[in-house]
Structure formats: structure tokens, C-alpha cells
Amino acid sequence: MNIALVRPSVFIMVFLSLYAATIGYSQEAVREWTDSTGRFKITGSLLEVTDGNAMIKNSDGKTLRIPIARLSKQDQAFLNGGDNPFEMVGDAPAIDSSAPSSTGVNAAVWATPQAVNWDDANQFTSMAGVQWQVPDSDGELGWEPQRAALTKKSTFHEHVQPLAINVQSKRAVVGNTVSFAVPKPLTRLSLVDLVSGKSVHSDSVEGHMRPLALLDNGSSVLMVGCSDDRGGYEKKSELQLWRFDGKKIVRSASWTPYAQDKDRGRADAEVLDAEVVNSSRVLTMSDKGHLVLWDLSNRKPIWHARLSERNFAMKLSVDRKLLAVFDEKTLMVLNPETAEILGSTALAPNTPTGWCRVAWSPSGKRILLTSIADVRVMDTKTGQWAFEFTLPGGPVATKALSFPDEKFALLDSRLLVDLESKIQVCEYRGASQIETLGGTSFIAVQSDAGGVLVPAKFPHPAALKMLAKAQEDPSLFLLHPGVAVSIDVSGVSNQYQATVRQGLEKSVATSGYTLNDSSPIQIMASISGPKQEAVGYIAAGSYIVNKYTSAVKLQWNGKSLWSTSGSNVPGVLMTKRGQTMQEALDKAGKAPNTSMFAGLHFPEFMQKPSENQAAGNRSQALMSSPFTLQGLVDSQ
């Protein structure tokens, strides 16, 4: 049997449009605003709250500045969103960054080129079925972090990179890069003392790099390049050590740890991630799944593992005693110093994996694993899955994953999911970056008006209240378990209508809905095509296929609530012995994909769309809470 993988030229996309007043985004909700006298009213969307003023875009597209004190009590309550945990404070005094404490890493040795001899290191091999004997891990921080002021964005195109937090030094690094609409790419760093809330902001440096890890001395930062071969600046395979000297940055020479470690030795592998184990040892992961524990004092590998080249992830526990590793279909816990396997479990052989991420719970006793749309939680004491479920839609955590509470997961730094009920509770918007350690989430918010790094706990009180409301009285929501829906297959040709209806009825039952032909909530199915289209398969060339598009839309009173689509073009093409690729595609092109209608997961809860909400998909979360410089704005 031959197998080919399709290039990602055809995507199933689910568009999310929030029904909240988001700040500084194109999906903001429109609402009526009234002044304190009740005489003046405008209709517009909230852009930002800054310096005691609400910036509102009216229906003509003009931006109005309105003092918050002049707004009605209802509008002020909307802006306040209850207790405000994120009020801006004045710039704290700069921390002392010029005199780093002792460290086992000397950046000067990086000036000498050094090839890596992998034979000098122990090689680790993944293994499933190892009995779980994981020692206790302390998942709490053990100290109280404070919020800190950040600078405002230098340009519209400046980007906040993922945060680097060191629990040993109790400091964090926030990196900003800009490479568009500037003569040369620039990088600047903010070094934050998380205990005092003091910070120091470096001058801009010519270069295109992002923080990978903050070392234990609290002032040296392991940086990785952001450019590709055409960029002309530091590439994604290059590392440097940057050290704060007051507001200046002292840089080491570049080092390529994965030289000629990609494409059978024809290219350098990129460095994706890093974890600090102690003052001189750091774990890194390449884009080809090469996991290495380094002694940075001499740049030599201590142990290494060549994981799957596609589906892998790692995360160090807060106390640095345990390392969670996922390799293709196997979840393991290792001793990070020795690579000894302390427990491992394999998924079922036919389980598809992709976009894999792992995270530790605040207690240090659970591991959160996401892969494609699957969510799993491993109990490291028993070696059993505490939770296993699939969320509707596509990949759930392509960029980030957090485990902020034993019962909640934060997906892609925005979507909070209750693990017990599987309810999507809150959609958090507006954060530049979020990093969670020991049950504390560090939220970076940065705009043209200012910036702040804030420690917070998820879920916040309003989200817990909304979850309780949904569980106590589901009928308060437009979509809820037991809701009646109707099915419309008029958009499907007669020969497929019976099959499509039967599949949709199965999905309705699986989703906990009921059928009622007179319900105003309609599930509308359609099949279009065939249309000849060119598709490309990796290492197999391009071919022509007759493409059918199968689509489902959930709507209420003419408003689209949710939709998804698929096609008959196979992502993985399997051919029989003697069968050509084109013959296999010709067979697939004879009929549309009708099986998708039987495998849908409709939203469990959804509120009614507002009168002024535009058509299109809506978030499946119960509520939305955008971050602003002043705090959270809750919309229910």
C-alpha cells in the first residue's frame, strides 16, 4: 500500500465572531452609549480604554474620545467589568540588571566555533508501557508575583514574542520584534522582576531574535533567530546569549546547535523551544523533534533523543524535577537530568496526532495533552486518563497551551474549557501573550497607549458564575442540551438527501439535541460540485480531481450561528497494488463526502446573537472577556 500526504492547499475553516465588546480588534461588538444626563446617545464599538477615556468608533468610522466619568452608570459598569485586577500603575523603578549572579555559562566561549559530536551523548529512545512511578512534584510557584509596567508599542507592526519566565530568579523577559515597514529589523527586551514589579527596558538592537529562555542568573537570555534564509538576519537555527548591562544589551556570537541536522544532513534544524534545568543545563527541541539536554558551559550534549519528526512536545515541571514528553503516540514522564522514563502510556494505534502540546497542572500531578481536536488529562499517580474528549472544529491548540487550574484548560491563550463538563466557558481576547506556571498566568497586554505584565488566575470569577448559570439552567441559552432543531437538506441533490438526513440525525442525537420540524433553529446542509481542481501531494506531484464541497450551517432567524465544511478530496491518499494516484483520485471524485454529516459535533451551549451582530460564525464560549490596559471587560 502506498500512502501520500496532501499539501495543506485545502482547509476546513471555522470562523469565530465574538459577541463581545472587544478592544482593538476588528470583531468588536456595536452597542449604544449614553452620557450621564441621558440626553446624548451614540452607537459605536469600543476600541480602547486609556487615561480615563473610552475610545469609541461610531457608525461613520470616526473615533470619539469620551471621558468615562461623563458616561452613564450602565456604561461605566460595562467598562469596569466588576473588580479590576489590571489597573495600570506608574512605571516602577528599574531593577538592577548590570551585575548578574553566578552562572555556569560563559558567553565568551561562544566566540569559538564548535561542532557537536552526538556520539559523546547518551541517546534516549521512546518507550511505551513503562509502569508509572512518578515522584511528587511541587507545582506551585511558592511566591507572590506582582504586576509590572511595560512600554507601549514602538510601531504598529511591532510584535510581542512568547514570554520567557525563570522561576528560580523570579524574573521574566518580554521580547518585542519588528521587521516590517522598517529599514532593518529591530528587537528590544523588557526584564521584569516579578516579586517587586520593577522592570528595565532595553534599547532597540538591530537584529531579528526572540527570547527562548531566561537563565538562572536573571539577566542572561537565550535568544533564537526569527529570520529565514532570505531574511539576511539571524536564522531560526541560530542561538545567541544576550545579557542586560543597564539598558544596553551585550550579545554573544551565534551558535547553531543543530547544524546539518535536517533533511539528511543538508540543512540546519530550527530551534523551537527551550527549558532551563539548572544554572548551566538547558533542554532544547528542534523542528524535527530532536530533544537535547545541553551543558551550556561547554555547549556539549549530555543526552539526546530523536523523536517523531512531526508530532512531538515537551514541558518541564515548575520545580524542574520532571519532564513531560509526547512522541507521536506516546506520553512519557522523564527525569530531565538522566532521561530515565518514570512512566509512559501509548494512545491507540489508529489515533491520529498533530499540533501536539503538553502542560503541567498547578498541583504537578496531572499532564494536559492536546492533539488536533483531542483533549486528554493524565493522572501521573495512576497512569490513567482522567479526562478524554474531542472538541468540535479543527486543531484546538496550535500556538499555546496552559493548565491554569486542575479543572480547566486554556487553549491557544484564549479559550477556557471546563474539563469535567467539556463546556467552552470563556473566550479571552486582547492579550499579546499568556504564559502559565504553577497556577498563575502571566498576561502581557501591549498597545499604542502602554503595556502591562499582569499575574492572574483563570478562571476569573465572572467565568465561574457563567459556568454555574449554564449548568443550573441550560434553557437560558439558545443552544443547550435538549434543544429542538430542524433539518433542511434542500441544498443537497435528491440522490444524496436521504443519506445526508440520516447522518445529520445521528449527529443531532450525539450532540444532545432533539428533532422538531417546526423549530426555528435550523441545520442546513448543502453539497456543491463537482468542480475540477488541482491538488498536490508531497513527493507525488499534482493531479486533477472532481471536487465536491459538503457544508453544514446552523442558523436561527436568518442569523448564522455555526458552520463547517469538507470535501471528497482525501488528505491522505492510499492506493491499492497496481493502482495509480490519478486512478485513486478519479474514484474519490465520483461522489461527494457524505460521511462527514454523521460525525459532526454541534455546540453544546450558545447564547442568542445580539440584534446588531453581523452574520457568520460565533464563538461557542458562554462569554467573552477582552483584556485591556485597565482590566477585563466581561460580555455575557
Does residue 139 lie within any of the structural domains?
no
Q: Residue 605 domain-assigned? A: no
Q: Is residue 211 part of a domain?
A: no
Least confident range from 56-60, 250-254, 346-350, 401-405: namely 56-60
pLDDT in tens, 274-327: 999 999 999 999 999 999 999 998 999 999 999 999 999 999 999 999 999 999
Q: Quick check: 625 and 427 in contact, CB under 8 A?
A: yes
pTM above 0.75, yes or no: no
Does residue 109 fall inside a structural domain?
A: no
* pLDDT range class, residue 85, cuts 50, 70, 90: very low
Query: Is position 509 within any domain?
Result: yes
Our count of domains for the chain comes to 2
Measuring CA to CA, which residue among 421, 396, 418, 395 is closest to residue 407?
Answer: 418
Domain boundary among 53, 87, 121: 87
Spatial CB neighbours of 453, under 8 Å, sequence gap ≥ 6? 147, 148, 149, 150, 163, 172, 174, 190, 192, 199, 442, 443, 444
More confident residue, 581 or 335: 335
Domain assignment present for residue 567? The answer is yes
Quick: pLDDT tens for 320-377.
999 999 999 999 999 999 999 999 999 998 899 999 999 999 999 999 999 998 999 9
- What CATH number does residue 534 fall under? 3.40.50
Among 225-234, 352-361, 484-493, 526-535, the minimum mean pLDDT is found in: 225-234
- The mean pLDDT of 41-61, rounded to a whole number, is 71
pLDDT value for 268: 93
Residue 5 has pLDDT above 60, yes or no: no
If you ran DSSP here, which 8-state letter would residue 498 be given? Answer: H
What is the helix, strand, coil percentage profile of the chain, to 5? Answer: 10, 40, 50
The confidence band for 592, taking pLDDT boundaries of 50, 70 and 90, is very high
pLDDT tens for 164-177 read 999 999 999 999 99
The answer to whether residue 55 is domain-embedded is yes
| DSSP H/E element including 346 | strand 341-346
Structural domain range at position 41:
30-87
For the record, the C-alpha cell of 300 comes out as 556539549
State the chain's mean pLDDT as an integer: 84
Residues sharing a CB contact under 8 Å with residue 261, sequence separation 6 or more, in sequence order: 268, 269, 286, 288, 290
Give the angle subtended at the CA of 127 by the CAs of 122 and 132, to the nearest 5°: 110
d(CA 533, CA 207): 42
% pLDDT > 70, the chain: 85
Between CA 631 and CA 597 the distance in angstroms is: 42
What mean pLDDT comes out for the span 188-193? 95
Is 195 within a domain?
no
pLDDT for 25 equals 28
